[in-house]
Amino acid sequence: MKADFRGDADHHDGTSDATPGGYEDSRRPGEAGFAALLAIGSGVLLWTAHGISGFEALSGPGSVPMAVTAAMLVSALAILARTIRLPRVAGETLRRDVLPGVVIVMALALAGFGLLLVPLGFVPAAFLFLVPAIRFLSGRGWGFSLAVGTGSLAAIWLIFRIVFTVLLPSGILPEAELVQALRGLFSGGEQ
């Protein structure tokens, strides 16, 4: 095992925390671009950090931010320099191995869920996310997706809203009344 690499060939996609992605001797599609973006981002952050308090005092609010962004920039440049020298992995494409359609679709669905969370409320937004997602990923019928999606949503809502008392956006659903009714049901009508 080389000091510079502790992953294994089977899990180059980072399937497990224990085995980070990437290859030792070659670069994956998009890896050089990602490294370049990190280097540019680090440069911008270093510039911003310099703007906090400049070099006025070693104990200034900007000194640690400057030090860490400088470390980011130096390491990002070192990574970039190493990455662009490596040959590309044979047989991998960006569309298939790094960013397949299913990942893009689900990431967009998640973003949509996030956007609808407050205006619609948790339950309707989660329903709109969960049922089509299960249908899309499992390839099974709407009946299965509806049953599994609704069932698990009900379980999650009961656990988190009632047991963990997590406040979730109620949106268009009369949630407070529902919670009250459920509590009334469980307390057996005690006053």
Partner 1 sequence: MDALLAFLTVFTHPELLLLVGLGTFAGVYVGAIPGLSVTMAVSILISFTFSWDVLPAISLMIGIYMGGVYGGSRTAILLNIPGAPSAIATAMDGYPMAQRGEAGQAIGVTTVMSFFGGLIGIAVLALAAPAVSDFALSFQPRDYMLLAILGILLVGSLSTGSLVKGIFSGSLGLAIGAVGLDPLTFTERFTFGVPLLQGGISFIAVMIGMFGVSEALIQLQHVNSAAVRQKIDRIVPSWDTVKKHLPLSMQTSFIGVIIGALPGTGGDIAALMAYDHAKRVTKKPSRPFGKGAIEGLVAPETANNAAVGGAFIPMMTLGIPGDAVTAIMIGALFIHGLNPGPMLMVTQPDMFWVIVGALVTANAFMLLFGLTGIRLFTKIVELPRAVLIPLIMLLSIVGAYAVNNSVTDVYWMLGFGVFGYFMRHYGYPLGPVILGVILSRLLDDNWRRAIISDREDLGAFFHGILTSPLSLVLTVAVVLIFLSQTPLWRAAIGRLGQRRHRHAAG
Q: Among 34, 86, 171, 178, which residue interacts with partner 1 (rule: CB under 8 A)?
A: 34
Residues in the chain: 191
CA distance 131 to 150: 7
CA distances from 109 to 58, 146, 153, 169 (A): 46, 17, 17, 18
Interface with partner 1 in residues 81-140 (CB under 8 A): 82, 98, 100, 102-103, 106-107, 110-111, 113-114, 117-118, 122, 126, 129-130, 133-134, 137-140
Residue 172 interacting with partner 1 (CB under 8 A)? no
- By three-state DSSP, how is residue 131 classified? helix
| Contact in structure between 80 and 32 (CB atoms under 8 Å) | yes
Decide whether 25 or 189 has the Cβ nearer to partner 1.
25
Stretch that binds partner 1, among 63-71, 170-178, 182-190 (CB under 8 A): 63-71
Q: Among 40, 84, 162, 166, which residue interacts with partner 1 (rule: CB under 8 A)?
A: 166
